[in-house]
Amino acid sequence: MSNVVTRFAPSPTGLLHAGNYRTAVFAYLFAKHSGGSFILRIEDTDIARSKPEFEANIIEALTWLDLKTDNQYRQSEHRARHRELLEKLIAADAAYISKETPENQGDREEVIRFRNPRGTVSFTDVIHGKITMDVSDLGDFVIARSIDEPVFHFAVVVDDMDENITHVIRGEDHISNTPRQILIQRALGFTSPTYAHLPLILGNDRTKLSKRKGAKAITEYRDLGVLPEAMLNYLAFLGWNPGDEREYLDRDTLIDSFDLTRVHKGAAIFDEVKLLSVNQHWMRKLSDADFIKYIDARYSSATDTVRLQKATFLLKERAHTFNEARELVSGELSCLFIEPVLDMNLLIAKEPSDHPGTTKAALEELLDPIKSLPENISAETVKDVLMPLATIAETKRKGGRGAMLWPLRYSLSGKERSPDPFTLISILGPKETITRIKKAIDMLEDEKK
């Protein structure tokens, strides 16, 4: 099947969402699995609505997904060819110039209509099987607004033939268009391509995914910090699976595994939560060094860089996108890079009201054990050293373990929500930990005075 040629043929009339690009992914995977070619055709014949910025965004999105094209075309460049074949159909009386009675201001007084032979048209769809439709009700349908303005049905037939398209892979909302196009193909003496109409993609509300209803442009997910391999993986599984339990497939494995006959007939649901879960999987597979590159954090010192490297496992645990990772670095984990400003009320929040001074005593008790720790130490080892002290403290004074562990964590982070104190110490190191604990103790002493 090395002669397989597929195409992605978007109109640059708006920003395309992930559902649109699922078509490109399937066409690309099928072509590459078959050793064939994948073509991009920009269908820009709607002059009023086509915009260069939308075309640029299409190219940008395909580049981000790394869906390399073997050829690229712009439909507007084929006008002379479209005109040539329209004239051929008119000369053969397979089409004719129709005098119209305008119903609305601005309507055409003349259009070109295809002379419909009526009857039925049948074709075999790779996904849906044999489809037969009665074309009689279509009447003599319009194929051009003028000799230089073909409509969609005519232009795609000509372009697909001239570009040697063997397989038309597109959404199932185009099934109703196929009989018209087959009639035009027959009139022009063209061979029909193989059709594969993909199931629709629905939102969580079970309605068709659309930009009008809030579906994001695919480049918005890129800007949120979704990895292209994650998006490719997720889109490939919208209405398809490899026939086994595998969920996470890289590009080469997707190409090797892809089979159009395994495309589902039923609609697929675009679930952003699932997409972000897939993205987290691919984020976690990155080396720590590559992960940090994606964050593009600005470091003020070499110490910050080391701490960020140590904190990468936290980011991989918590973040589903690189935007979330950046927010963690500048928010909850900012204490790793910036000395916290403490609030006295929060520092003593776990101190029993009938035992004043408990917080200060607990922090002072921790100083010597922490001083004995080496600079490079795991959170588990820190916990093994300090947790027994918290357990003993639980029996010695009121407030339980929290009376020691809370002020320790707050002294280090300055936040009500942060990683546990053992993790903080392992990242900050004993020296910085001691400095912060002493400042908390100084605050408590100043308050006492």
pLDDT tens digit string along 216-225?
999 999 999 9
| Burial category of 298 from C-beta neighbours within 10 Å (exposed 0-12, middle 13-18, buried 19 and up) | exposed
Name the phi and psi angles at 133, rounded to 5: -135, 140
Q: Where are the domains of the chain?
A: 1-69+199-285, 288-335, 344-448
CATH of 344-448, one of 2.40.340.10, 1.20.1630.10, 3.30.1390.20, 1.10.10.350: 1.10.10.350
How far apart, in whole angstroms, are the C-alpha atoms of residue 421 and residue 409?
Answer: 5
Regarding the domain delimited by 1-69+199-285, which CATH topology (the fold level of the hierarchy) does it fall under?
Rossmann fold (3.40.50)
Looking at the chain, the whole-number percentage of residues with pLDDT higher than 70 is: 95
Of 58-67, 335-344, 354-363, 387-396, least confident by mean pLDDT is 387-396
> Which two three-digit tokens encode residue 113?
């209509």
User: Are the folds of 1-69+199-285 and 344-448 the same?
Assistant: no
Phi, psi angles (nearest 5°) of residue 17 = -95, 180
Cα distance between residue 216 and residue 205, in whole Å: 15
Taking 3-state DSSP, the helix, strand and coil percentages for the chain, each rounded to the nearest 5, stand at: 50, 15, 35
In angstroms, the CA 334 to CA 329 distance is 5
CA dist 436 → 115, 404, 420, 425 (Å): 85, 15, 15, 11
Place of tokens 């996108």: 321
42 in helix, strand or coil? strand
**β partners of residue 125:** 129, 195
The alpha-helical segments, DSSP class H, found in 115-271 are 152-162, 178-188, 218-224, 228-236, 251-257
pLDDT at 62: 97
What is the pTM for the complete model shown?
Answer: 0.91
Q: How far is it, in rounded angstroms, from Cα 392 to Cα 365? A: 11
The tens digit of pLDDT for each residue in 280-333 reads: 999 999 999 999 999 876 666 767 888 999 999 999 999 999 999 999 999 999
Kindly state the greatest CA–CA separation across the chain. Answer: 104
| Alpha-carbon gap, residue 301 to 125, rounded angstroms | 61
What integer pLDDT is reported at residue 82 of this predicted model? 98
Residue 355 has pLDDT above 80, yes or no: no
